[in-house]
Amino acid sequence: MSELNWDLYTQLLKDYDISLSREGIDGNRMARRLHAISEIGLTPDGGSRRLGFSKEEKQAKELVKGWMVEAGLSITEDGAGNVFARLAGKNPEIPAISSGSHLDSVPNGGHFDGPLGVLSALEIVESWKVQGFQPQQSYEVVIFSDEEGARFNSGLTGSRAMAGEIDEEIQSGLVDQNGDSFDTVLNDVGLSSQGFFNAQRNLEEIAHYVEVHIEQGKILEQDDLPTGIVSGIAGPSWLEVTFEGNAGHAGNTPMQGRVDPLVTAGKFVSNIHNIPSQVSSTAVATVGKLNVYPNGANVIPGTVNLIVDIRDIYEETRDKLVDLIIDEANKVAEEFGTRCNYKQVLRVAPVPIPTDVTNIMSESLKRNGIEPRMLPSGAGHDALIVGHHLPVSMLFVQSKDGISHTPEEWSSLNDCVQTVHVLKDFIETIIEK
C-alpha cells in the first residue's frame, strides 16, 4: 500500500451512522483527525511507525496540540514530553478531571491504539464548546509519551515519569536498537535528561483520570457491544525459571537415566495452562520466551531458561498464582531429576477499578442504550500507572477480530463515537457542575 492511495478517513466514514453525530460530538471530525495522525509514520503496508521519543511521535503531538489550541485549551508540556491541555474550570482550584492516552506506536502497529483515546478526550472539549458548557473544575486532555516502549523495551515511560515511578539509574542505562542512549534520544526531540528526571507532577492537581482504549480482545465483538467497562487493569509479574540438567551427546546417551531440562520445561509449560483458573477467572499465565543451552541439534540440553508472564487484576490472586506456578516448577523438576531456580524479575501492582466507579459508568452506558459489560484489561495502559496514585477508570472500544499492534487493527467509527458519548456522560456525571 502506498501513501498515495491511503485514505483512513473514507474507510471510517463508509458505514458511519450520521445520527451518532450529536450534542457537539462529530464523527466526521474524529475520522478526519484519525486519518491525519495516521499519515505520520505511515508504513508501506498501511501500518503505523511512531516510536516513543521519535520525530514522528513529536510531529503527531504537534498536530494534536494545534487542534487543542483551536479548541481553546491552554497547553503545558513537561520534561518527559507529556502534553497537558487544560480547559479552565469556573473554580480552577478544584483538582481537575483528566482523560487521554498516547500517540506512539509499535514498529508496525495500527491507527487506533492510543490516538483514539487522545481524540476521544479532546472531543469532549469540542462538544462543550458547541454547547457553551464550562464545568466548575478544570478538565485536562493528556498525551503521554512512549506508552508502548518499543524503542527501549520499557514502556509507560511518560506516565511513569509523571507519577515519579522512574528508576533514574535503570532509565539512564537504556540503549535503543540503534545503539543510541536514552539521553541521546531525548536530545534528538528537544528534551533532556535533567528535564525528564524532574517531570514528576503534583498529582493532587488531578481528581480522576479516565482513559478510552481499544479492547485488543474479542469479548465485545462476541457480545456485539460497541463499548465496555474495564473492571481492572492487570499488573504483570514476570517469573524467570531455570531448569538445569546434564548435557550430553544426543546419540551416545541412553534414554534411560537422562536428566533433560527441556523435557522438564515442556511438562512445566504444558501444565501452566490449567493453573490460572484455580485462583481467578481473570488470571492468566504465559510462557512466551524460552532459551535452550547449548542449543545444538545433537546435544541434550544442559540448561533451559524461560520467563512466565503472570497477570491478574487483583494483587492477592495474582501473587497466589505466582506461588502455584513456583510449586509446579519445583514439582516437575523433582519428577525429572532436574534442578530448578527461579527469581521474580518484574512486579507491577494491578489496579482494580472500584465498584462505585464502574456503577457510575454502567449508568452512563444505559443512558446511551448500551448494555453494560464488565471486562478486565490484561494489557498495561497509562491508566495502570496513574491508578497507583489516583482514582482511574477505563472504557474499551470493540476491536475487530481482537487484532491489535498490526496494520489490520480496526474499530468502527460507530463504536468509537458511541464510546465518546458514554465518556461524555460519565465525565459530566463525576465533574463538578
pLDDT of residue 348: 86
pLDDT at residue 165, as a whole number: 94
**Mean pLDDT within 60-68:** 98
Provide the pLDDT for residue 125: 98
Region 391-396: mean pLDDT is: 97
Nearest CA-CA partner of 102 in 53, 149, 146:
146
Q: Is the pLDDT of residue 58 over 80?
A: yes
- The pLDDT-based confidence of 433 (bands split at 50, 70, 90) is low
> According to the model, what pLDDT value does residue 404 have?
93
Residue 430: its pLDDT value, please? 96
At the topology level, CATH places domain 3-234+351-430 in: Aminopeptidase (3.40.630)
* CATH 3.40.630.10 location in the chain: 3-234+351-430
Please count the residues of the chain.
433
At residue 3, the pLDDT reads 45
Express each pLDDT in 174-212 by its tens digit: 998 899 999 999 999 999 999 999 999 999 999 999 999
SS3 99: strand
Percent of the chain with pLDDT over 70: 99
Nearest CA among 415, 406, 429, 428 for reference residue 223: 415
Q: Residues 6 or more apart from 176 whose CB is under 8 A from it?
A: 151, 152, 182, 185
Residue 323's identity, in one-letter code, is: D
Among the four given CATH numbers 3.30.70.360, 3.40.50.300, 3.40.50.2000, 3.30.365.10, the one describing domain 235-347: 3.30.70.360
Task: List the one residue out of 101, 136, 97, 123 whose CA is nearest residue 22.
Answer: 123
Average pLDDT of span 387-407: 96
Residue 152 has a pLDDT of 87
Extract the C-alpha cell encoding 75: 497547553
Domain with CATH 3.30.70.360 in the chain: 235-347
pTM of the model as a whole: 0.88
Residue showing cell 535503570: 170
Q: What is the pLDDT of residue 177?
A: 84
pLDDT at residue 4, rounded to an integer: 53
* pLDDT digit string, tens, across residues 77-92: 999 999 999 999 999 9
Average of per-residue pLDDT across 301-318: 95
The residue-averaged pLDDT of 271-292 equals: 95
The mean pLDDT of 141-160, rounded to a whole number, is: 92
Mean predicted lDDT score pLDDT of the chain? 95
